[in-house]
């Protein structure tokens, strides 16, 4: 028996030698990169597919944003040539004012979000405030709601004349509109409601990961709780505060939906709205791309600052394996303002907007007497009978299933190549996979139009799917990466020495171990896709439209009631998916949005 085994061994050895030599010749040097050679075909196929997808959904569209910004004419014009003209247009006062205002709005939104998000994080992780578990969900729940629908709700609540709050005030004899959401301050307010959770998640993650031993050492040194907060806790979470500040500032640059809904056509127009107007009004895609290049330049500056802050936050974060429960500071009478703020946020971000949407979707006309409302289901019936809306519903479901699935599959491959192989191409893959962070969806979409207007995917749901995959690869990759960090590489190495190639290691070891993150990541991307209007608004076509676009079109036509109905349908889908994920896959809400922040 011993001898026969030896013989099989030598035969195996010989075969593998031959394979290597063949493999070495067949494989492109890019992959073998003087390190590993002898790919199995499936590994090579996966790598080629990954690169093809990244090129199609990221590299080409991004390149076309810059291409489009330097064209003398718009898409389809055969006479176009290279020109600085679209970019030069940006130097006119209209655009300069718009850029300055957008930056100001971004900085203000980031400031307020970080202050309030940071306070919530501290209250919910370090104090004895009541109902903490409940408020933890309240503070992150707005991430799952569509800011666009929130903006519609606030328009119905606080529009200067017809807004419910103003109508109610008038009935009570208070003169004039008491709130006006259509001012830039209104835009800042609604943006803050929806960006505050980002600041909260960054800061609370930092606080939760912070070993309380630092704070305890401060108490031992005789410092009071408040002095400890300012001399120890705050400096240690400062990187988290700074990085969330820049992230929020970048994200706010690309928000089209909130100012477009609230500001209308007359008020201040932030740059994201100008991109849309350039296309909507004049089909001037070159100008749209040029404005986009300006936004990308700003976002790049923000991204560099963000990554810089994030790196120092990783340096500061002291992750300990042991579970610990930080000392709960007794805040006494401060509980009262803390609770007022928490319930206030609950009311402003979640309760009031949804009540407003429900009321408006169920009432036939604007009614002044809130105590005696007339209800009707006619708007709901109309939407359910609207073939266009129902088609959009079907498309939304299809896009919502396909886009996250492709995105997560790509993210798994990206993370595996970047984190677990030594292929030279991994640095390129890593870089390409983060590019979309700095490209707001509405700008990214102009690149897709320039690149794919002549291809068969244009005007189908596939261009939407491609754009979503491209937009959300960075989010999914972050989620998967965070889970890879927690997988002991020895588990994969053990599979390698047991004879498994890369493909088998990924499918049998890494992916199953990362399954909780895969599910959370899928749901995160699903939520982002379902609520996205910034990308879809540029890429939809009559046959290939999705629910957020339908909502937008109702708003644009002044039919807020129908918009409210579609918006509520979207919200119901979002909630259903989160609840189903919790029941079927035991994926928690906190883990869906929390993982990305790691």
One of 124, 495, 517, 538 touching other proteins (CB under 8 A): 495
Give min distance, CB of 473 to other proteins, in A: 26
Q: Which of 87, 58, 73 is nearest to 444 (CA)?
A: 58
Helix (H) or strand (E) holding 489, with range, is: helix 489-497
Distances (CA, A) of 271 to 84, 95, 106, 112: 19, 8, 11, 21
Dist CA 470 CA 172 (whole Å): 51
Regarding 577 and contact with other proteins (CB under 8 A), the answer is no
Distances (CA, A) of 423 to 33, 122, 379, 420: 6, 43, 57, 9
Dist CA 369 CA 71 (whole Å): 56
Using the rule CB under 8 A, give the single segment among 116-124, 493-501, 541-549, 582-590 that binds other proteins: 493-501
For the stretch 479-496, what's the b/e string if a residue is b when 16 or more beta carbons lie within 10 angstroms of its beta carbon?
Answer: bbbbbbeebeeeebeebe
x/- contact string, 506-525, with other proteins (CB under 8 A)?
--xx--xx------------
Give min distance, CB of 37 to other proteins, in A: 6
One of 497, 542, 558, 583 touching other proteins (CB under 8 A): 497
Using the rule CB under 8 A, give the single segment among 11-19, 115-123, 443-451, 547-555 that binds other proteins: 11-19
One of 12, 94, 368, 486 touching other proteins (CB under 8 A): 12
Tokens of 125: 């992780």
Q: Which is nearer to other proteins, 55 or 515 (CB)?
A: 515
Contact assessment for residue 503 and residue 416, using Cβ atoms and an 8 Å cutoff? no
Q: Which of 463, 466, 570, 587 is nearest to 524 (CA)?
A: 587
Q: Which is nearer to other proteins, 443 or 495 (CB)?
A: 495
Q: Which is nearer to other proteins, 182 or 510 (CB)?
A: 510
One of 7, 11, 20, 401 touching other proteins (CB under 8 A): 20
Alpha helices in 283-425 (DSSP H): 285-316, 335-345, 352-362, 378-385, 387-420
Tokens of 106: 């971004």
> Residues 397 to 426: which contact other proteins by CB under 8 A?
422
Give min distance, CB of 167 to other proteins, in A: 59
Regarding 486 and contact with other proteins (CB under 8 A), the answer is no
Regarding 19 and contact with other proteins (CB under 8 A), the answer is yes
Q: Which is nearer to other proteins, 29 or 265 (CB)?
A: 29
Q: Which is nearer to other proteins, 385 or 488 (CB)?
A: 488
> How many residues in the chain?
598
Q: Which is nearer to other proteins, 17 or 311 (CB)?
A: 17
Size of the site for other proteins (CB under 8 A): 31
Alpha helices in 129-233 (DSSP H): 132-140, 147-158, 164-171, 184-209, 213-220, 225-228
Give min distance, CB of 28 to other proteins, in A: 15
Regarding 160 and contact with other proteins (CB under 8 A), the answer is no
Give min distance, CB of 408 to other proteins, in A: 18
Long-range contacts of 212-221 (CB under 8 A, 24+ apart): 212/324, 212/326, 212/327, 214/318, 215/326, 215/327, 216/327, 219/327
Regarding 585 and contact with other proteins (CB under 8 A), the answer is no
One of 1, 3, 4, 13 touching other proteins (CB under 8 A): 13
Distances (CA, A) of 336 to 113, 185, 342: 21, 27, 10
Regarding 494 and contact with other proteins (CB under 8 A), the answer is yes
DSSP 108-139: HHHHHHHHHHHHHHHHHHHB--TTHHHHHHHH
Residue 62's DSSP bridge partners are: none
Residue 342 burial by Cβ neighbours in a 10 Å radius (0-12, 13-18, 19+): buried
One of 63, 103, 350, 500 touching other proteins (CB under 8 A): 500
Using the rule CB under 8 A, give the single segment among 14-22, 304-312, 321-329, 386-394 that binds other proteins: 14-22
Q: In the 8-state DSSP scheme, what is residue 346?
A: I
Give min distance, CB of 322 to other proteins, in A: 16
Q: Which is nearer to other proteins, 496 or 543 (CB)?
A: 496
Using the rule CB under 8 A, give the single segment among 17-25, 53-61, 124-132, 331-339 that binds other proteins: 17-25
Q: Which is nearer to other proteins, 485 or 575 (CB)?
A: 485
Q: Which of 409, 375, 394, 358 is nearest to 543 (CA)?
A: 394
Give min distance, CB of 302 to other proteins, in A: 30
**Residues 6+ positions from 90 with CB-CB distance below 8 Å:** 96, 99, 290, 291, 294
Give min distance, CB of 512 to other proteins, in A: 5
Give min distance, CB of 7 to other proteins, in A: 12
One of 49, 213, 221, 491 touching other proteins (CB under 8 A): 491
Q: Which is nearer to other proteins, 455 or 486 (CB)?
A: 486
Regarding 38 and contact with other proteins (CB under 8 A), the answer is yes
Q: Which residue has the tokens 């509980």?
A: 335
Using the rule CB under 8 A, give the single segment among 56-64, 191-199, 489-497, 531-539 that binds other proteins: 489-497
One of 34, 133, 315, 325 touching other proteins (CB under 8 A): 34
Give the footprint of other proteins on this chain (CB under 8 A): 5, 9, 12-13, 16-17, 19-20, 24, 34-38, 422, 488, 490-491, 493-501, 508-509, 512-513
């Amino acid at each position: 028996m011993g001898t026969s085994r030896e013989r099989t061994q030598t035969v195996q050895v010989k075969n593998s030698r031959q394979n290597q030599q063949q493999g070495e010749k067949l494989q492109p040097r890019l992959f073998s990169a003087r390190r590993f050679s002898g790919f199995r075909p499936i590994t090579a196929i996966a790598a080629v597919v990954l690169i093809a997808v990244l090129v199609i959904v990221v590299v080409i569209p991004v390149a076309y944003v810059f291409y489009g910004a330097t064209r003398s004419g718009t898409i389809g014009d055969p006479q176009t040539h290279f020109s600085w003209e679209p970019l030069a247009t940006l130097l006119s006062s209209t655009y300069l004012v718009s850029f300055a205002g957008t930056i100001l709005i971004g900085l203000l939104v980031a400031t307020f979000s970080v202050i309030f998000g940071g306070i919530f994080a501290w209250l919910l992780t370090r104090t004895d405030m009541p109902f903490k578990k409940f408020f933890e969900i309240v503070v992150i729940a707005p991430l799952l709601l569509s800011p666009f629908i929130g903006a519609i709700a606030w328009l119905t609540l606080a529009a200067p004349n017809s807004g419910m709050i103003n109508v109610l005030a008038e009935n009570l004899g208070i003169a004039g509109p008491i709130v006006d959401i259509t001012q830039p301050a209104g835009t800042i307010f609604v943006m803050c409601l929806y960006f505050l959770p980002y600041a909260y998640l960054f800061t609370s993650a930092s606080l939760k990961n912070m070993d309380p031993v630092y704070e305890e050492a401060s108490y031992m040194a005789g410092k009071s709780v408040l002095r400890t907060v300012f001399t120890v806790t705050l400096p240690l979470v400062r990187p988290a505060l700074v990085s969330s500040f820049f992230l929020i500032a970048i994200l706010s640059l690309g928000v089209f939906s909130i100012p477009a809904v609230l500001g209308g056509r007359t008020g201040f127009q932030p740059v994201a709205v100008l991109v849309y107007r350039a296309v909507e009004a004049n089909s001037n895609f070159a100008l749209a791309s040029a404005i986009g290049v300006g936004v990308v330049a700003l976002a790049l500056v923000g991204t560099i600052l963000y990554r810089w802050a994030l790196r120092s936050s990783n340096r500061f974060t002291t992750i300990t394996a042991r579970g610990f429960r930080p000392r709960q500071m007794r805040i006494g009478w401060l509980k009262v303002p803390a609770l007022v703020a928490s319930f206030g946020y609950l009311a402003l971000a979640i309760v009031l907007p949804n009540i407003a949407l429900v009321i408006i979707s169920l009432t036939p006309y604007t009614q002044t007497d809130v105590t005696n409302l007339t209800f009707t289901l006619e708007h709901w019936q109309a939407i359910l009978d609207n073939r266009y809306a129902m088609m959009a519903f079907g498309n939304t479901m299809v896009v919502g299933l396909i886009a996250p699935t492709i995105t997560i599959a790509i993210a798994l491959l990206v993370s595996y190549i970047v984190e677990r192989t030594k292929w030279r191409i991994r640095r390129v893959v890593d870089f390409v996979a983060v590019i979309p962070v700095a490209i707001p969806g509405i700008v990214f979409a102009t690149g897709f139009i320039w690149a794919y207007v002549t291809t068969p995917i244009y005007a189908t749901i596939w261009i939407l799917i491609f754009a979503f995959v491209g937009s959300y690869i960075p989010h999914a990759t972050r989620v998967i990466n965070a889970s890879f960090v927690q997988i002991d590489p020895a588990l994969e190495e053990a599979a390698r020495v047991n004879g498994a190639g890369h493909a088998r290691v990924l499918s049998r070891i890494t992916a199953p171990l990362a399954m909780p993150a895969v599910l959370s990541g899928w749901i995160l991307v699903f939520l982002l896709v379902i609520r996205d209007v910034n990308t879809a608004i540029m890429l939809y076509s009559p046959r290939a439209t999705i629910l957020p676009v339908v909502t937008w079109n109702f708003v644009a036509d002044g039919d807020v009631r129908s918009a409210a109905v579609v918006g509520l349908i979207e919200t119901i889908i979002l909630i259903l998916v989160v609840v189903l994920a919790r029941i079927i896959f035991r994926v928690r809400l906190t883990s869906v949005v929390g993982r990305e922040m790691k």
